[in-house]
Every structure is written in structure tokens, then in C-alpha cells.
Amino acid sequence: MQDVTQPPATSPAMLLVLLGRRLRERMDAELREQGLSLRHMSALGHLAGGPGLSYSELARRARITVQSMQSTLAQLEAMGAIERRTEPGRGRTAELHVTGTGAALLAKGREIVRATDEQLVSALGEDEHALTTMLLRALSASAGPAAP
């Protein structure tokens, strides 16, 4: 008789959810040691790729509320990781840019992601690694858009 308290070991969805949770916990812990979070990384990454993005555009890309993004950006600004190049004020679009400090933090964060990737696929050969990446991309595409 199957233990109904445990997810089926063959459920790809549950395996991915459980793996995702473990990876997120690991990366959160390592980023926290650098004074960062995944939200910080998301905001820095988006701003590095598109300086001057609005709060609402950053929130949309990160799939969080504008209020949460404002809090994240305030933390990054206090850390000296981003700078505002427009005067704050109601109705004005803030022009935010990554500073040298922010670029260094982003590089540290990306190194944590790279090390996590390396550890994750260390048991795989080169061909298996490429196949796993291809399969994960296909599964991600077939899952459809994220819920609002």
C-alpha cells in the first residue's frame, strides 16, 4: 500500500518542487552571508541589464508587488548598491542604476548561483548535464506562464 503522506517518487512536478525548495533554501542562506537575498539579486540583475527601469516594471519582472519592490530597492539603496538619478517625488519615475558596490554584490551573488549549479550537476557527465538543462527548459516552457 502506498504511503499517501509522501509524494510519489515518480512525480516530476513534486520532484521539481522539492528540489526547488532545497536549492532556494541553500542559496538564500549563502546570499544572506553576503547581506543579500534572492529579491536583491533579481532587482540588481534586472537593473544591470536595463538601467532606469521603473519600480512597477521591476516588480512585474520579479513577480512581486510594487510595495515589496520598493522595500527591496530601499534596502539596496541603503547598502549603496543602487542609486537614484532623479529627485524622489510623487508621480516621477525613479531612474535607478546599479553602482560599483551593486555590481560587486551582483557578481558575488552570481558566483553563489554558479557554485550551486556546479554542485547540482557534479554527479552528471557533460552529456547528461546538457540533456538535463534541455529537459528543464522544455518543462519550464510547457508549464506555461507564471500565475499572476
The residue type of 5 is T
Fold of 21-141: Arc Repressor Mutant, subunit A (1.10.10)
* pLDDT score for 83: 92
Pick from 118, 122, 35: nearest CA to 80: 35
For the cut 70, the answer to whether the pLDDT of residue 44 exceeds it is: yes
**Which sign, positive or negative, has the C-alpha torsion 125, 138, 117, 123?**
negative
The domain limits of the chain are 21-141
Q: All 3 cell numbers of residue 105?
A: 554584490
CA dist 51 and 44 (Å) reads 10
28/12: higher pLDDT? 28
83: enclosing H helix or E strand: strand 82-84
* pLDDT tier for residue 1 given thresholds of 50, 70 and 90: low
Longest pairwise C-alpha distance within the chain: 66
Question: Using H for helix, E for strand and C for coil, what is the string for 108-132?
Answer: HHHHHHHHHHHHHCCCCCHHHHHHH
Pick from 88, 49, 90, 46: nearest CA to 69: 46
* pLDDT tier for residue 106 given thresholds of 50, 70 and 90: very high
CA dist 145 and 89 (Å) reads 34
For the cut 60, the answer to whether the pLDDT of residue 87 exceeds it is: yes
Q: What is the pTM of this model?
A: 0.80
The residue type of 31 is L
CA dist 42 and 123 (Å) reads 28
